[in-house]
Structure 1
Amino acid sequence: MIRELSTLLFSVALALVLGIGSAVWASGQMALLGELEINDWRASSGIGANSPDPYVQAYYSRSGGLPLAKAEGLAFVRQTDESGDGLNARCTYVIEGDTPGARLWTLYVLRNDAPMDAPEAAIPTALHSGSILRFSDGDFDIRIAPLPQPRNWLYAGASGPFALVLSLYDTAIASDTGLSELRMPEVKKLGCTNG
């Protein structure tokens, strides 16, 4: 009798831990269903829909974010560089190229699933399309580094993992017909500091 009761209690406890754990994990991830991927930049086209799935609702409830409606735009997240390594703030990266057509775009650093706060007002942790220097062909390059850089610079902290969020506003990218190749900026690692 005691053996059956302990087996039952163990089974219930295991089911609770696995069930609650998987729900917490799933609601902490960007929604994978209906995901749009362009050059390792990922966006969920279900975000901003009139009736989003429960995982999208749970993700934004937990993160405190406010999703864009489909008519407003689309937010892409990038967590790796071109070689597939995770982004780390002790490394220097260059984001180069251009974005798909949009009236405006913003780029900001995400730390611990939240936009990074600047340690001082003069240190940029976010940029927008109207605030950057461009080349004559319209392309741009943005350096992400722990120390100030010439031209366009973003600060992602002194060390530790981070992600980038590129939000395209007033864009038709979610309804693109595929007749033109969509271009997203590349994220290349230039080097890392020790420590």
Structure 2
Amino acid sequence: MKLFLKLLASFVVALVLGVGSALLLLRGGLGGTIAVGPWMTSDVIGSADADPYTRARVAIGGLLALNRSETIYFTAATDSDGEALRMQCTYKIIGSDPPARWWSITAYAADHYLIPNPQDRYSYGGNTVAREDDGSFVISAGPSAGGGNWIPTGETDGTFTLTLRLYNPTEEAARDPSGIVLPRIAREACAP
């Protein structure tokens, strides 16, 4: 009986450790190995080369990943200074059109879902963003309305991520996403 209890205890510990470590790995976001400033991507998302963990992370993140020649997905969990994106802070996303036929930037809560807001505003894209005189754009993300392009991040304490999608990227961008110039994410201020 003692041997059975020891085996059962060992099995339970192994099961908890195995499932727990797999969940931590899978819930860690899309991440990737290619960094462009705060933006991260993976060269296997949306490809036949994706390993089972990458496929599971894509499924958990709710991303319907298209082939890399159709879409490149970048995710930012930090600003350009490496600080976590916090819902109670205001950020400026400053850039110009990336090398793609169309693009969008969307904010997501830590649970990978859109951040609920009364404005029903979740993202901006190449055809919806108001532009500066030189063709560049500035998108504000934060808890209170900033004029122009504003993505609400809610009023709760927590973190969020930004996802930048490049639809129909140029061949060069699809081949070497690390060479793309992407928007800067600058923290403006944080509520106490």
TM-score range, shorter chain: 0.7 to 0.9
Letter in 2 for 1:124: R
What is the SS of the residue equivalent to 2:50?
coil
Alignment of 1:33-48 (within 5 A): 35-48=33-46
What is the SS of the residue equivalent to 1:114?
coil
The CA distance in 1 between the partners of 2:130 and 2:117, in whole Å, is: 23
Cα gap change, 1:166 to 1:31, in 2 (>3 Å): closer
Q: Deviations over 1:152-193 (max 9, x none)?
A: 111111122110001011113230398xx5211111111111
Alpha-carbon deviation of 1:103?
0.8
Percent identity, please: 31
* 132-141 vs 16-25, greater mean Cα deviation: 132-141
Unaligned runs of 5+ in 2: none
1:47, 1:56 within 8 Å by CA — same for their partners in 2? yes
Alignment of 1:14-163 (within 5 A): 14-30=13-29, 35-120=33-118, 122-159=119-156, 160-163=158-161
Alpha carbon RMSD of aligned pairs, Å? 2.2
* Count, aligned residues: 189
The CA distance in 1 between the partners of 2:62 and 2:101, in whole Å, is: 25
Q: Deviations over 1:20-61 (max 9, x none)?
A: 11122222234566x321112011110111342101221233
2:31, 2:75 within 8 Å by CA — same for their partners in 1? no
The CA distance in 2 between the partners of 1:151 and 1:70, in whole Å, is: 32
Letter in 1 for 2:85: L
What is the SS of the residue equivalent to 2:35?
strand
Unaligned runs of 5+ in 1: none
What is the SS of the residue equivalent to 1:7?
helix
1:92, 1:190 within 8 Å by CA — same for their partners in 2? yes
Cα gap change, 1:89 to 1:51, in 2 (>3 Å): same
Letter in 2 for 1:60: V
1:175 is matched with which residue?
175
* TM-score, normalised relative to structure 1: 0.86
Alpha-carbon deviation of 1:9?
2.8
Letter in 2 for 1:174: A
